[in-house]
A and B are shown apart, each in its own frame.
Chain A
Amino acid sequence: MSDLTPYQKLVFNRYLARKNTETEEPGENQDAKSKRTRKSKVSTASVGLNLSDYLILESKTHGTYSYPDLLVAKELNKKGKDWTGTQAELHTENSYMSTIRQFVDFLIMLRSGKVYDGTGSQLRQQEVTKLLNDIIEVRSPWRSEHLDVKFNKQDDQFRITYHKINQDGTLEEVTESLEDCLMTDKKPGIDLSSWLTNGTIQGLPKKSTSDGSTWYWSPRDGAVAGFDADANRAGLGCDGGPNDANASLGVRIVRKKL
């Protein structure tokens, strides 16, 4: 009898872990004709939140980075607060700010059209399009949201700090080297699809990202990240000040799905 390879062991252990944490599963057809279906049972632990105000972002693994199933708010909250103050407030409320990676996965999900709210109901296509356009469409008014990433430079090397959500919902601050990514501004721009489909594990566009119309401000020392859209442009900024605040600048609250 042969031993399993390390890869097979990893897959097997992941399966066992999934089995242990499974509650009720959907069992519905996810790729047939669009249907408004129940996705999963509403956890009692989530009572108190209006789950229909949130979207389910399923757990993802990107290389060594992973996060559990999340609830991501449909609308921006806490407008007018700076990045530092917003982070502090969110953490006291057991909620989080989306990392760039999660934001990328969130946009990919919206673009796929297959979106479920926190109660497990599938959103109609028009609503999904509206949510996506609220983030990326070039139009008034100015919309802007904080992202959980801070950049620092040490010995000429960029480092990135963000929070990792553990399986038990606790937050872990991670500081690591910034992966090889696009380090020049593109005004305009980068191709949104190219960025979303071929971004780095940390979610930033790679150097090979095709040109396009999405603006990009590359990482600066001491800066934080955000995504903005207004009547002239839409884009990812990695050059924001942690103390910048504006009435249009808010946060898309993220919670661990229980």
Chain B
Amino acid sequence: MEDKTKETLDHLDKGKYTNNKEVTLGNRTFNVRDLVLKAPLIAGLNVYCVGGTGEGKTQIAHDLASYFGDSYCYAIGRPDFEPRELFEHVRLDRLREALTDSELVELTNNIGKNVFYVDELNRCPPVVQNYFFDLFDGKLVHRGKILRLGKQGYSVGFATGNLGDGSYVGISDSDRALKDRMHLIVKLDHPNFATTELDDFEIFGKKLNPRTGLPEQSGDISDRIIKLNQEFQQRKVDPLLPALGVFLTKGLDYLEDTAQQSKRAVELKWPRLDGIRQDTDESKIFPLSKRGILSAICLAQSLEMIAESNGTPIETGRERAELFLDSLRLTIPYSGVLAPDFVAIEHNGDVYSAFDAVMEKNKADALDKVEFLEEALLLAEAGHTDKKLLDKVASDTEGKWLPVRRAVTGYAEKRKVEPSETGLTLVKMLREIK
């Protein structure tokens, strides 16, 4: 890792938001600041911080303002809010010469900002929250054209809110599609992520003023963060992660005893289906969304950069797979894929506990298969398949891992026709061995 990269990463440790709670992902220890601030900025991931007041959400906003200076845009959620307000303004000085209303409207400088922070997002009713889809996708539709938000293609959204469970006045739950666009959803007051006792002790001892402070103008490092993101984009994705992604999107869709063997096919009735297994995760988790998988891959890759910078690099495929599977804890639990009754009844409403319970066996299965998958994927690069190896990954007729087997064989067939450089080397090596 280059010195400048490490320097930027170290700089992101500095700020007003303090949370030294340790979280173990992939047998590496990170703190919550790494998870909700540093890693998302590296990877350009949106973050939705939920939970009660006083957990440091405003401090996160201030740190972002400090890092991004003029490239930071702040908005506060309210029932009549419309994101377009941020990006368009009316040029009254053109009132005389304009031929139509639309000629009076011009884009504001906000379109080029890198960070959009929406405080109390779910103070907006659901219909208004949906206007934020494009904002968190990093785009704006203006006069029929799709415009990319941000500078140099870098745009990140942060939002805060409280869960729509009726415990706060004047808030609404968020639509599943919006939650999906918020790549990470973290409940900051959950014991897994809340500040440590020492953090609290130090926070209470710092000042005699219960109000949150103002952002510090300590220097705009937005260009350095964008460069960090560009470097991140150059990193290669281990094919193990997309293969595990196939398991989580297509494999978790598997229903043993229905005609289509698919949860998506019976989505309207799931999980209240005749014959659905209660002893497996069939009735507990819906297949993960593609965006959720991509978010977890990006999060895992950015955490890998942080681990590298901390001197504890990820060295094996198994470690990488484990980091990816553990990263799902930040992207999936609140995305709406867990069966509500399972969370409410069996886990007293604790979504993290429910998610961990569902993932325990899936994770163990996945890690058992990692070595075989690594080998099968490498062979596939050369356009080869090894039936015995694939049998260790999955049956060739049914089951949750069948989609992964199909993905690997499909990739091998593709590589047979379009060989990669690595594939050609492997073909040569395999020939020499024979």
Interface residues of B in 371-394 (CB under 8 A from A): 371, 374-375, 378-379, 386-389, 391-392, 394
- Cα(A29)–Cα(B399), bound, Å: 8
- Cα(A234)–Cα(B70), bound, Å: 58
Chain A residues lying within 8 Å of B391, measured Cβ to Cβ, are 25-28
Once A2-B421, A193-B360, A208-B24 are accepted as A-B contacts, the answer to whether A27 and B375 lie under 8 Å apart by CB is no
Does B13 sit at the interface, judged by CB under 8 A?
no
The minimal Cβ–Cβ distance linking A26 to chain B, given in whole angstroms, is 7
Q: Contact: B398 with A29, CB < 8 Å?
A: yes
Chain A residues lying within 8 Å of B269, measured Cβ to Cβ, are none
Chain B residues lying within 8 Å of A27, measured Cβ to Cβ, are 387-388, 391
- Cα(A186)–Cα(B305), bound, Å: 34
Q: Contact: A1 with B425, CB < 8 Å?
A: yes
- Cα(A15)–Cα(B145), bound, Å: 51
- Cα(A63)–Cα(B319), bound, Å: 8
Does A11 sit at the interface, judged by CB under 8 A?
yes
Does A187 sit at the interface, judged by CB under 8 A?
no
Which of the residues A3, A12, A111 comes within 8 Å of B378, measured between beta carbons?
A12
- Cα(A202)–Cα(B400), bound, Å: 31
Q: Contact: B24 with A198, CB < 8 Å?
A: yes
Q: Contact: B378 with A15, CB < 8 Å?
A: yes
Which of the residues B356, B378, B392 comes within 8 Å of A11, measured between beta carbons?
B378
Chain B residues lying within 8 Å of A58, measured Cβ to Cβ, are 368
Does B76 sit at the interface, judged by CB under 8 A?
no
Once A12-B429, A197-B363 are accepted as A-B contacts, the answer to whether A31 and B388 lie under 8 Å apart by CB is no
Does A30 sit at the interface, judged by CB under 8 A?
yes
The minimal Cβ–Cβ distance linking B141 to chain A, given in whole angstroms, is 43
Interface residues of A in 1-47 (CB under 8 A from B): 1-4, 7-8, 11-12, 14-16, 18-19, 22, 25-33
- Cα(A16)–Cα(B315), bound, Å: 21
Does B317 sit at the interface, judged by CB under 8 A?
yes
The minimal Cβ–Cβ distance linking B352 to chain A, given in whole angstroms, is 11
Chain B residues lying within 8 Å of A208, measured Cβ to Cβ, are 22-24, 29
Q: Contact: B24 with A206, CB < 8 Å?
A: yes
Chain A residues lying within 8 Å of B421, measured Cβ to Cβ, are 1-2
Which residue of B has the minimal Cβ distance to A114?
B365
Q: Contact: B374 with A32, CB < 8 Å?
A: no
Q: Contact: A32 with B399, CB < 8 Å?
A: yes
The minimal Cβ–Cβ distance linking B355 to chain A, given in whole angstroms, is 13
- Cα(A2)–Cα(B378), bound, Å: 14
Does B310 sit at the interface, judged by CB under 8 A?
no
The minimal Cβ–Cβ distance linking B395 to chain A, given in whole angstroms, is 3
* Interface size range of chain B in the complex: 35 or more
Does B108 sit at the interface, judged by CB under 8 A?
no
Q: Contact: B426 with A4, CB < 8 Å?
A: yes
Which residue of B has the minimal Cβ distance to A201?
B27
Q: Contact: A2 with B422, CB < 8 Å?
A: yes
- Cα(A26)–Cα(B389), bound, Å: 10
Once A2-B422, A29-B397, A112-B364 are accepted as A-B contacts, the answer to whether A11 and B317 lie under 8 Å apart by CB is yes
Does A184 sit at the interface, judged by CB under 8 A?
no
Chain B residues lying within 8 Å of A14, measured Cβ to Cβ, are 371, 375
Does B431 sit at the interface, judged by CB under 8 A?
no
Chain A residues lying within 8 Å of B378, measured Cβ to Cβ, are 8, 11-12, 15
Once A11-B378, A12-B378 are accepted as A-B contacts, the answer to whether A29 and B395 lie under 8 Å apart by CB is yes
Q: Contact: B256 with A32, CB < 8 Å?
A: yes
Does A51 sit at the interface, judged by CB under 8 A?
no
Interface residues of A in 31-71 (CB under 8 A from B): 31-33, 58, 61, 63
Binary contact track B234-263/A, C-beta < 8 Å → 1, others 0: 000000000000000000000010000000
Q: Contact: A25 with B388, CB < 8 Å?
A: yes
Does B212 sit at the interface, judged by CB under 8 A?
no
Which residue of B has the minimal Cβ distance to A22?
B388
- Cα(A33)–Cα(B398), bound, Å: 9
Does B424 sit at the interface, judged by CB under 8 A?
yes
- Cα(A193)–Cα(B358), bound, Å: 12
For A4, A32, A201, A208, the residue with the greatest tally of chain B CB atoms inside 10 Å of its CB is A32
Q: Contact: B317 with A31, CB < 8 Å?
A: no
Chain B residues lying within 8 Å of A201, measured Cβ to Cβ, are 27
Does B361 sit at the interface, judged by CB under 8 A?
yes
A-B contact pairs, 10 of them (CB 8 A): A11-B374, A12-B375, A12-B426, A14-B371, A22-B388, A29-B395, A30-B395, A112-B361, A113-B361, A207-B22
11 more CB-based (< 8 A) A-B contacts, given A29-B399, A30-B392, A33-B256: A2-B421, A4-B429, A7-B317, A15-B379, A22-B388, A28-B391, A29-B395, A30-B395, A197-B363, A198-B24, A208-B23
Q: Which residues of A contact B (CB under 8 A)?
A: 1-4, 7-8, 11-12, 14-16, 18-19, 22, 25-33, 58, 61, 63, 108, 111-113, 193, 197-198, 200-201, 206-208
Q: 9 nearest interchain CB pairs?
A: A29-B395, A32-B399, A31-B399, A15-B375, A2-B421, A27-B391, A25-B388, A208-B24, A11-B374
